[in-house]
Amino acid sequence: MKIIYSWLKEFVDFDWSPEELASRLTMTGLEIEGIERVGASFKGVIIGKVVSREKHPNADKLSVCRVDLGDGHPVQIVCGAPNVAAGQTVPVATAGAVLGADFTIKKATIRGQESNGMICSKSELGLEEGKSDGIWVLDESLTAGLDLASVLNIREDYVLEVAITANRGDALSHLGVARDVAALAGKTVRFPDLTVDPKYISKIQSSEKIKIELDSPDQGPVYAGWYLEGVTARPSPEWMQTRITQMGLRPRNILVDVTNYVMMELGQPLHAFDYDRLKSGTIRVKTTGPGPFTTLDSKERQLPDQALMICDGNDPVAVAGIMGGENSEVEDSTSRVLLESAWFNPSSVRKTAKKLGISTDSSYRFERGIDSGLQKTAALRAAKLIVENTGGKMAETPVLAVAKHLIQPELTLRFSQIKRILGIEIPKEKVHQILDSLGFVMIGENQTEMMVRVPAHRPDVTREIDLIEELIRIYGFHHVPEAETVSVSYTAEQKSSYSFDNKLRFMLTGAGFQEILCNSMIPEKDALLVTGKIVPILNPQSEEMGVLRPALAPGMLAIVQKNQNHGITDLRFFELGHCFTSVKSDRYSKIGNHQEEIRIGLMMTGQTVKSTWNSQPESSTLFHLKGTVLAVLDVFRLSEPVTVTAVDSEFYEDCLVLSTGNVQVGHIGKISKKVQSFFGLKQPVFIAELILDSLYSLPKHQPRYQELPKFLPVEKDMAFWVSRSVPAGEMVQSIQETNPGQISQVTVFDVFEDPKNQQNQKSVGFRMTLQNPEKTFTDQEIDGIMTAVRQMMEKKFNASLRGG
Amino acid sequence: MDENIRKVSEELDSAAPGLTHQEAIEAFRIRFLGRKGTVSALFEQLGTVPKEQRGQIGKQLNDLKNKAQGLIDAATAGQQNSVINTRTDLTLPGYPVQFGKLHPLTVVMNEMIEIFRFLGFSVASGPELEHDWYNFEALNFEHDHPARDMQDTYFIDRDLLLRTHTSPVQIRVMESQKPPIRSIMPGRVYRNEAVSARSYCLFHQLEGLLVDKNVSFVDLKTILLAFAREFFGPQTKIKLRPSFFPFTEPSAEVDVSCHLCHGKGCRVCKHTGWLEILGCGMVDPNVLKACNVDPEEYSGYAFGMGIDRIAMMRYGIDDIRLLWDNNQRFLQQF
Ligand SMILES: [Zn+2]
């Protein structure tokens, strides 16, 4: 909202510069976001009449003029403008006048001719951008010798842009801001003049002309109307137009302009009806059913059900508190006016405005709560401004209907609470001064507490805590000190995943994975690659952010692609983030249950080992990622072992599911060709996702010390020819089980297929670590173990010892 | 054919002394034994040799092949030994180990969390998909009140939404725990705002909550100053301006003296000497009541800040979208 510096001064005395005012208001909670200098910046420019114009004897483009400055003794001025002519009324900057910041006009001699000042153009006066065509020719009715700035009411002024928080409906006017200024400056607010010259008052009472019926007392409890006649819809006076323009509105005619002017002055939205366009003689304020209605901006709008309407009898003529109707709007021919000044329920106005999708200066104020005691006064102020400037007459009294009295709450303020909440005491006289200047009425006080009545312009103040906020807002937070010590009562640290999350992060960065953060809102088509159980957003910003991510993979792949476009192809990423799925399979159901889980995703693509001067590069494979993921899982110390099962998947070409017990904790995969080409990726990508919620909630074991083996382990290698279809993992497990307690570890050291081998066989080499905690093995014992392994392999897997 | 074999054999001899490094060995292998190498070419010509000579020539060719392979093997072995035996060139680069980095937002967030943990706060978290009750209602946002316009909300259905701030975690903490409460709540939040260099549709907040007996604004100001000095440096000053948040009363915006110009004014602080980084206030009694905490017995304070803006200020990042583009070259800078 905008506040005009000079206008504010009409309400309260203060001697702060615009900058100082801005910083003080900011420190009371009315944040000033900008100060704009407006109006003219000139002093000493007066109105003159060009009596004669002669060509300059020594210069072709100059004229020598004699100009009357009102004292009957015309002075000589040299002028360079081509449009200057005898008989014109012009602005003259005489010697001593100042234009702009510091251009002082002096007497001069120009090419031998004396010049006593300067005839000005609009741009020279700072009233026009760029260069004017010539001097500014004024209305000839203006009297010579008068000060131009005061005649046109153009002077240096400032417009302050104020950010008003949602609770401060009271500050949406000059009067409202003036109250805060008064409280800060220890001054009182001056109300605008409301006396009307009797010549503008007719014998008619408004109630003779219009009846008011309030059919919806909850939504529209207070309505004042003022009847005016003999008015004309002429342009507003120059000074009013200037202010309306500076406030960012376009002046129209005085009937409309005054309603805006008074709203910005006092905070009460007003509406002017053309009385002759109202047919029934009765204004009814009531809620209506849905239907079309054309507002005064000529737009046909669909009224929502239960919208509060102003009706002419039964015909709607305005959407209450939001916008008038085209059917009753004032026109150029209007001579009789009904001024509306009402109080409407804030949430009712808000609901209707939201449904209509419009916000007006009026609805903005009603939504935030306007002064419920101001209706008659505001109507009087507007009526006065109209009749005084158009010469019509206003009814002697307004018509006022009140269906429900709005009660001003009375609040108790305990002095002990000020200290309890703010940690400081505020002197009692200061408490009185602040509350008093903000309009609170003292109704009782004793040693420990006081009682105040909340003024009608502060509907946001309903509790003791609100009063405490008012006090510190004006008194200032700089009075609140910092303590020397921070003391805390002991409570155990609450459990959270924070520390373990970070442990995972540091492990993975150590393993060369870069942390990334991806948008949780992704395109629907990306999400559908993963699952049909997606969670759409009702009001997405764009299709690109239409649904919530069901997994981390789509976002990561999009990032891989972006990097690929920048020529970065060797990547290892991880992300820790929330994923969302719909529990119902019907993804279009509007209300469903949703599941949110926290996952950690790992991604590898391109070279995982770069070439060096002594080694070859190595490309990422599923097994690089598998190794990392299982190492990460090991850190969780799950009680149950992790099992890895190959499954079919559409998203992945090779996919492994990780589970412990019957709980799935994640998966690892190589993305399918389809997904790879969907994201436009040039090389295979490997992705793993672990469900952290599950991993955190599963039972863990505490490590227990095991005695270290006293004897050296023995390593033995054996290789077998076996059918290609036998999984290595199964063989490893079986070897381990042949001699429990004696084979402590089995690894695969070598796998190859001989292309000449016609039997579809592969060779798998196993390295076995034999370890007995009690003793060293004898050669015989070792042979026994090896034989057992060989026999088991032959029998169970139809394998034959290589080279055996 | 004999002649050709002899020629190639001589070529082998003359090329052998050059096998001093890996690339040369590889080039040598390709030249002679590669699929289009000279030795291989001779093997291909074997078919044109008269039948009776084939055995003889074949043997010569095999010898030639073995000779070439022998030279390669010897040179390779020499290569490996040379690193050990001859004086090592220590100017050769070390084998690269590339660590990943944490995302800059995580770096800043972790640093803040550590400061507050040091000051006695526990970390709490909550869902990003929230109910209206937790995100608005319990936080004293009335229905049909303009305060709801302060945060443009993404909705999933009539009740579910993407949380617009981390404040709903305050409610969850107070529901699950009796005072005294000292928690911080870092997390991701969503606002339906157009994406530009200055704003993104999601960002990160860190919020704090303390509820105990006899907690006042003095305690709030104390903890904020302690944080500001830990995070921005020991000379940091803070300044509070009244503001409005539905869930605190009184509420304030906190300005921190600019750590770049020390209050003199610079581009980052828009020549004010101050950076607006934090909102705070005393927990509104309505919020305590919504969580069944008696506001006559307990009082508390809450504060919150946007991580992304602070990270941008710290690292001089002028376009917020860079944080979400995840360009590897960008991420490696932190
Ligand atoms: Zn600065």
Q: How far is CA B177 from the centre of its chain?
A: 33
* Alpha carbons A65 and A83: distance in angstroms, whole number: 12
The reply to whether residue B129 touches residue A545, judged by beta carbons under 8 angstroms, is: no
User: For the sheet containing A714-723, what is the strand order?
Assistant: A743-752, A761-770, A714-723, A800-801
Average pLDDT rounded to a whole number, residues A218-238: 94
Kindly give the distance from the C-alpha atom of residue B305 to the centroid of ligand 1, in angstroms, as a whole number.
Answer: 19
Domain range for B156 is 105-331
pLDDT at A192 exceeding the cut of 70: yes
The reply to whether residue A615 touches residue B95, judged by beta carbons under 8 angstroms, is: yes
Q: In angstroms, what separates the C-alpha of A418 from chain B's closest C-alpha?
A: 10
| Bridge partner residues of A506 (DSSP) | none
Q: Both B173 and B77 in a single domain?
A: no
Interfacial B residues in 160-199 facing A (CB < 8 Å): 160, 162, 173, 177, 180-183, 188, 190, 192, 194-195
Interfacial B residues in 24-43 facing A (CB < 8 Å): none
The reply to whether residue B149 touches residue A166, judged by beta carbons under 8 angstroms, is: yes
Q: pLDDT for A357-386, tens place per residue?
A: 999 999 999 999 999 999 999 999 999 999
ipTM of the complex: 0.84
Q: Both B45 and B82 in a single domain?
A: yes
In a domain, B99, yes or no: no
8 Å CB contact between B128 and B187: yes
The reply to whether residue A541 touches residue B192, judged by beta carbons under 8 angstroms, is: yes
What's the structural domain count of chain B? 2
pTM: 0.82
- C-alpha to C-alpha distances, B307 to A137, A500, B106, B110, B169, nearest whole angstrom: 59, 21, 9, 10, 17
Q: Both B173 and B245 in a single domain?
A: yes
- What is the predicted pLDDT for the residue at B139? 96
Q: How do beta strands A594-605 and A571-582 pair?
A: antiparallel
Per the structure block, which two tokens stand in for A723?
């059918």
Kindly give the distance from the C-alpha atom of residue B271 to the centroid of ligand 1, in angstroms, as a whole number.
Answer: 6
**Alpha helix ranges (H) inside A450-547:** 464-475, 498-510, 524-528
Q: Name every chain A residue with its beta carbon within 8 A of the beta carbon of B76.
A: none
Does the CB of B129 have a partner CB in chain A at under 8 Å? yes
* Alpha carbons A573 and A628: distance in angstroms, whole number: 12
Q: Both B238 and B272 in a single domain?
A: yes
Count Cβ atoms below 10 Å from residue B72 Cβ, excluding itself.
18
In a domain, B94, yes or no: no
Q: pLDDT for A50-73, tens place per residue?
A: 999 999 998 888 999 999 998 888
* Alpha carbons A332 and A335: distance in angstroms, whole number: 9
Give me the helix-helix angle, A498-510 and B104-118, nearest 10°.
Answer: 140
Which of A226-254 are b and which e, b meaning 16 or more Cβ less than 10 Å from the residue's Cβ?
bbbbebbbeebeeebbbbbebbebebebb
Q: Both B140 and B212 in a single domain?
A: yes
The reply to whether residue B244 touches residue A29, judged by beta carbons under 8 angstroms, is: yes
Q: Both B78 and B127 in a single domain?
A: no
Count Cβ atoms below 10 Å from residue A685 Cβ, excluding itself.
25
Q: Both B138 and B240 in a single domain?
A: yes
Q: In angstroms, what separates the C-alpha of A442 from chain B's closest C-alpha?
A: 22
* Alpha carbons A720 and A750: distance in angstroms, whole number: 10
Interface mutation target, options A365, A479, A494, A576, chain B, most CBs of B under 10 Å:
A494
Q: pLDDT for B80-124, tens place per residue?
A: 665 555 577 888 888 888 899 999 999 999 999 999 999 999 999
Does the CB of B81 have a partner CB in chain A at under 8 Å? no
Q: Both B146 and B114 in a single domain?
A: yes
Sign of CA pseudo-dihedral A229, A232, A236, A238: negative
In a domain, B95, yes or no: no
pLDDT at A227 exceeding the cut of 90: yes
**Residue of chain A nearest B147, judged by CA positions:** A166
| For chain B, counts of helices (H) and of strands (E) | 12, 9
Kindly give the distance from the C-alpha atom of residue B257 to the centroid of ligand 1, in angstroms, as a whole number.
Answer: 8
Q: Name every chain A residue with its beta carbon within 8 A of the beta carbon of B145.
A: 166, 346-347, 350
8 Å CB contact between A739 and A796: no
Does the CB of B327 have a partner CB in chain A at under 8 Å? yes
Q: In angstroms, what separates the C-alpha of B234 from chain A's closest C-alpha?
A: 15
Assign 3-class secondary structure to A6-31: HHHHCCCCCCCCHHHHHHHHHCCCCE
Q: Quick one: residue A96, left, alpha or beta (phi over 0 = left, psi -120 to 50 = alpha)?
A: left
**Residue of chain A nearest B173, judged by CA positions:** A494
Angle at B4 between CA B1 and CA B10, to 5 degrees: 145
Q: How confident is the model at residue A590 (pLDDT cuts 50, 70, 90)?
A: very low
In a domain, B68, yes or no: yes
Which pairs with CB-CB distance under 8 Å and at least 24 residues apart come from A586-592? A587/A532, A587/A533, A587/A534, A587/A536, A588/A536, A590/B157, A591/B157, A591/B158, A591/B159, A592/B157
Q: Both B178 and B50 in a single domain?
A: no
Q: pLDDT for A681-720, tens place per residue?
A: 999 999 999 999 999 999 999 999 988 888 888 899 999 9
**Alpha helix ranges (H) inside A407-463:** 415-422, 428-437
Average pLDDT rounded to a whole number, residues B249-270: 91
- What is the predicted pLDDT for the residue at A584? 65
Q: Both B121 and B173 in a single domain?
A: yes
The CATH number given to whatever domain includes residue B298 is 3.30.930.10
Q: Both B83 and B124 in a single domain?
A: no
- By mean pLDDT, which of A150-154, A538-542, A558-562 is the weakest? A150-154
Q: How confident is the model at residue B189 (pLDDT cuts 50, 70, 90)?
A: very high
In a domain, B315, yes or no: yes
Q: How far is CA A388 from the centre of its chain?
A: 44
Question: Is residue A380 within a helix (H) or strand (E), and if so which, with residue range?
Answer: helix A375-390
Letter for the amino acid at B3? E
Does the CB of B222 have a partner CB in chain A at under 8 Å? yes
| Bridge partner residues of A309 (DSSP) | A286, A319
Q: What dihedral angle (degrees, nearest 10) is formed by the CA atoms of A396, A400, A405, A411?
A: -40
- Final residue in a domain of this structure, among B32, B60, B87: B87
Letter for the amino acid at A607? Q
The reply to whether residue A466 touches residue B249, judged by beta carbons under 8 angstroms, is: yes
Q: pLDDT for A342-354, tens place per residue?
A: 999 999 999 999 9
List the one residue out of B144, B109, B155, B140 whose CA is nearest residue B302. Answer: B140
Sign of CA pseudo-dihedral A23, A27, A32, A38: negative
In a domain, B187, yes or no: yes
Q: Both B41 and B169 in a single domain?
A: no
Q: Quick one: residue A340, left, alpha or beta (phi over 0 = left, psi -120 to 50 = alpha)?
A: beta
Q: Where are the beta strands (DSSP E) in A39-88?
A: 42-55, 63-68, 75-79
- Final residue in a domain of this structure, among B32, B54, B87: B87
- Final residue in a domain of this structure, among B55, B87, B119: B87
Does the CB of B99 have a partner CB in chain A at under 8 Å? yes
Kindly give the distance from the C-alpha atom of residue B94 to the centroid of ligand 1, in angstroms, as a whole number.
Answer: 42
Mean pLDDT, chain A, integer: 92
8 Å CB contact between B265 and B271: yes
**Alpha helix ranges (H) inside A648-752:** 673-678, 692-697, 728-738
Q: In angstroms, what separates the C-alpha of A477 from chain B's closest C-alpha?
A: 6
8 Å CB contact between B296 and B284: no
Interface mutation target, options A533, A538, A584, A618, chain B, most CBs of B under 10 Å:
A538
Q: How far is CA A678 from the centre of its chain?
A: 35
* Alpha carbons A499 and B208: distance in angstroms, whole number: 18
Q: DSSP string spanning B198-244? A: S--SEEEEEEEEEEETT--HHHHHHHHHHHHHHHH-TT--EEEEEEE
In a domain, B98, yes or no: no
- What is the predicted pLDDT for the residue at A492? 73
List the one residue out of B125, B135, B116 whose CA is nearest residue B287. Answer: B135
Q: pLDDT for B50-86, tens place per residue?
A: 777 777 888 888 888 888 888 888 888 776 665 555 5
In a domain, B142, yes or no: yes
Average pLDDT rounded to a whole number, residues B243-256: 96
Q: Where are the beta strands (DSSP E) in A651-788?
A: 652-660, 663-671, 685-691, 714-723, 743-752, 761-770
